[in-house]
C-alpha cells in the first residue's frame, strides 16, 4: 500500500488518544521517564557533525519513522482482524480440543 502523507509529519502528537495516555501512565508507574535522560552530550556531538553527516542522520531517522508508521498503518488492520477472529473462535469454543 502506498501512502501519500504520514501523520507523523503532517500533525503533532495527539495527547488525547489511548496509546499516548498509556505511554504517560507507563512513565508514571515505570522506573524511568524519557525526559530525565541527559542529552547534553548528544547536543555537543551533533554540533561536531558535518552538514552531510547531519543530513544523512536526519534522512535515516525520517526513513525509520516513515517505516514504523507504514507498518502500523498496513499491518494493524490485519492484526485487528486476526484478533477479532481469534476472539470469535474462543467465544464459540473452537479452541477446545476435540473429544476423542
Domain membership of residue 18 (yes or no) is yes
Whether 1 is covered by a domain: the verdict is no
pLDDT of residue 74: 84
Calpha distance 10→6 (Å, rounded): 6
Please indicate, yes or no, if residue 24 is contained in any of the structural domains.
yes
Whether 32 is in a domain gets the answer yes
- 100 in a structural domain: no
What pLDDT is attached to residue 3? 58
| Domain boundaries, position 41 | 7-92
The pTM of the full predicted model, rounded to 2 decimals, is 0.50
Does residue 28 lie within any of the structural domains? yes
Residue 2 lies in a domain: no
d(CA 3, CA 68): 13
Q: Supply the pLDDT for residue 98.
A: 55
Domain count for the chain, please give it. 1
Question: For each successive 10 residues of the chain (100 residues), what is the average pLDDT?
Answer: 60 78 84 85 96 96 90 83 76 53
Amino acid at each position: 500500500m502506498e501512502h501519500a502523507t504520514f501523520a507523523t509529519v503532517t500533525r503533532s502528537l495527539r495527547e488525547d488518544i489511548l496509546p499516548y495516555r498509556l505511554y504517560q501512565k507507563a512513565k508514571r508507574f515505570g522506573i524511568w521517564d524519557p525526559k530525565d535522560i541527559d542529552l547534553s552530550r548528544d547536543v555537543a556531538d551533533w554540533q561536531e557533525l558535518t552538514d552531510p553527516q547531519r543530513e544523512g542522520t536526519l534522512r535515516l531517522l525520517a526513513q525509520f519513522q516513515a517505516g514504523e508508521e507504514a507498518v502500523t498503518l498496513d499491518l494493524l488492520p490485519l492484526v485487528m482482524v486476526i484478533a477479532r477472529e481469534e476472539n470469535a473462535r474462543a467465544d464459540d469454543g473452537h479452541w477446545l480440543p476435540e473429544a476423542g
